[in-house]
Amino acid sequence: MTRSIITAIVFALALITTLYSLFIEDKKIENEKKRKKKIIKDAILAIVWAILLILRIIYIMHER
């Protein structure tokens, strides 16, 4: 049970970091091509982290 909660916290932190990178750090990139590539990569990564977090929360709720 504790391991599942810790995993959910790690997923949430990874999602927050990815969203920060997507909205804050990408604006600092001057090259338009590099910025678009990084935005697409960060958006896909954020979607993956969100799905993993949702699945982990469902698993925790089902476990109880």
Q: What is the Rg, in whole angstroms, of the alpha carbon atoms belonging to the chain? A: 15
pLDDT of residue 48: 95
pLDDT tens digits, one per residue of 16-39: 999 998 888 878 888 888 889 989
Between 4 and 47, the more confident residue is: 47
Q: Which two tokens stand for residue 5?
A: 């909660």
Query: Does 1 score more than 80 pLDDT?
Result: no
Q: What is the rounded average pLDDT for all residues in the chain? A: 90
Distance, in Å, from the CA atom of 40 to the CA atom of 21, rounded to the nearest integer, reads 12
pLDDT of residue 27: 80
Distance, in Å, from the CA atom of 10 to the CA atom of 55, rounded to the nearest integer, reads 13
H/E stretch holding 23 reads helix 2-23
